[in-house]
Amino acid sequence: MKHQGTQLLQTPRLILRPLQLSDAPAMYENWASNEKVTKFLTWPPHEDISVTQALLTSWVRDYQNPAFYQWGIILTEQSDQPIGTISVVSSDDRMSKMEIGYCLGEPWWGEGIMSEALQAVMDFLFHVVQVNRLESRHDLHNPGSGAVLKKSGFLYEGTRRQADWNNQGVCDVALYGILQADYDETR
């Protein structure tokens, strides 16, 4: 892989960019403090904005690492305020694979925003970073997340029973993956 770090990406409706400390109020209000948004995530809703500020401080520092990928999702028609994130949550250079995770504020669910963001990230990771495999997973009780993956060309690879943990406790997890060759074949 040829790590590039979190680069600015654009789609017809979105700007994906590194987050900044000044994004703390929007991040806190738009998704990080929402129990519905964090229901199936591995981190709890932020109790106050200081939690969001501390997380952003660490991410801003991590942007110096060319193997760190964490994008804020911005709707170009609205403002410069992020409405969610999409990131590489784990990476294995030896296997040339990365795991993708994402989170979107509730008011923007069902609008195709995350699928559009995921397509931009996939294109960047496959063609610029030159990763061979992308994968993701979701709690079986969160089928919307699986719909995003299927729409983006990921293939369902199986379910691991009681193999993960999130804010609901131990859960079954659906696994998805896509290879660069599969992605390029459909483009």
CATH code of residue 100: 3.40.630.30
| Mean pLDDT, range 160-164, rounded to an integer | 92
Q: Is residue 31 part of a domain?
A: yes
What is the side-by-side strand order in the sheet with 169-179? 9-10, 14-17, 70-75, 82-92, 97-104, 133-139, 169-179, 155-166
Confidence grade of residue 53 (pLDDT, cut at 50, 70, 90): very high
Instruction: Please give the pLDDT value at position 148.
Output: 95
**How far is residue 77's CA from residue 96's CA, in Å, rounded to a whole number?**
35
Q: Is residue 131 part of a domain?
A: yes
Q: Which residue has the higher pLDDT, 185 or 20?
A: 20
Domain interval for residue 133:
9-185
Instruction: Please give the pLDDT value at position 41.
Output: 84
Q: Is residue 150 part of a domain?
A: yes
Residues whose CB falls within 8 Å of the CB of residue 88, separated by 6 or more in sequence, listed in order = 68, 69, 70, 98, 99, 100, 101, 125
**How far is residue 1's CA from residue 92's CA, in Å, rounded to a whole number?**
10
Q: Is residue 70 part of a domain?
A: yes
| Mean pLDDT, range 98-112, rounded to an integer | 96
**How far is residue 145's CA from residue 137's CA, in Å, rounded to a whole number?**
8
- What percent of the chain is modeled with pLDDT above 70? 100
Q: Is residue 93 part of a domain?
A: yes
Instruction: Please provide the average confidence, as pLDDT, over all residues in the chain.
Output: 95
Q: Is residue 95 part of a domain?
A: yes
Residue 185: how many other CB atoms lie within 10 Å: 9
Instruction: Please give the pLDDT value at position 6.
Output: 98
Give the total number of structural domains in the chain: 1
Q: Is residue 3 part of a domain?
A: no
pLDDT of 17 above 90: yes
**How far is residue 125's CA from residue 67's CA, in Å, rounded to a whole number?**
11
Q: Is residue 57 part of a domain?
A: yes
pTM check: above 0.85: yes
